[in-house]
Amino acid sequence: MNKHKKLQSSTSLDKRSIDIRTQIIKVLQVAGRGHIGAAFSLVEILRVLYDQILIYDPTKPQWHKRDRFVLSKGHGCIALYAILAEKGFFPENELWKFCSVDGILGGHPEIKVPGIEASTGSLGHGLSIGNGFALNARLDKSEYRTFVVIGDGESNEGSIWEAALFAGKHQLSNLTVIVDYNKHQSYGPTSYVQELDPLTEKWSSFGFAVSEVDGHNIDALKTVFTNLPLSSTKPNAIICNTVKGKGVPLLENNMEWHHKSRVKEKEIQFILNELKAIP
């Protein structure tokens, strides 16, 4: 774990990654609440998927040839909302109504939002939904692919491993599970709450083709996603080593920022200044 932490911390952020994080903080500023650590650890994963990998049409969110994306760890949704708005799935002004009664964006994704394939946030369910999409594509002889992002804390759920058994049995090579492996969950390190290592070996034993990558390295993410499927007879698992709260030292691996409510303006300004100061 220490080896991964050293690698992750040395991964620099470019302007686009900083801009997305800035947008996330601006959403927090107007809403006064949100899961920031989980959103920050997801940014590069989502950025690469939506910039270069996923097939979709924001003007036709239900286009039948689109790839399906499920954010099973739904509490990281502000990062996804920021990117969906940028891509044109809904107007940017919806971001400023996050968790408001007059907006469409809640604290967890809901299918009423254009670009959201499944309502998630009750942890452990997204992979089973992804299995359904992937199996349907096979039965329908469709070429769309399914990507599911799960959390490492979420991986404590038995339903994740039931779904993994199903995917392995049915050899769903059109399914990719992406683990946001930031090694922290709501009240502490995963090594304290429930150890997951050796995680790569676990997914392999469930019949997955597995690759491990620095989840903040744009080129590495692009390479591994571009080379999918890893096997023609196995589902894919991509273990993304990430840092919870990546980019701002105050937030990194700081469980006080797992979820924040009633955020003070001086905290917001401090974080925005920290993001501006990244070289």
Rounded (to 5) percent helix, strand, coil in the chain:
45, 15, 40
Average pLDDT over residues 192-213: 96
**Residue holding tokens 């709450």?**
193
Q: What is the band of 199 on the pLDDT scale with cuts at 50, 70, 90? A: very high
Neighbouring C-beta atoms of residue 267, cutoff 10 Å: 15
- Domain boundaries, given as residue ranges, for the chain: 2-276
- Distances in Å between the Cα of 182 and the Cα atoms of 44, 218, 264 are 13, 16, 26
Kindly tell me if the per-residue pLDDT of 9 is higher than 80: no
pLDDT at 229: 98
Domain spanning 2-276: CATH superfamily: Thiamin diphosphate (ThDP)-binding fold, Pyr/PP domains (3.40.50.970)
Looking at the DSSP bridge assignments, the partners of residue 213 are: 240
pLDDT at 269: 97
* Token output for 16: 């686009």
Do 182 and 242 form a contact (C-beta atoms < 8 A)? yes
Average pLDDT over residues 117-125: 95
Of the candidates 23, 75, 18, the residue with the CA atom closest to the CA atom of residue 246: 18
β-pairing verdict for 68-71 and 146-151 = parallel
3-state secondary structure 35-62: CHHHHHHHHHHHHHHHHHHCCCCCCCCC
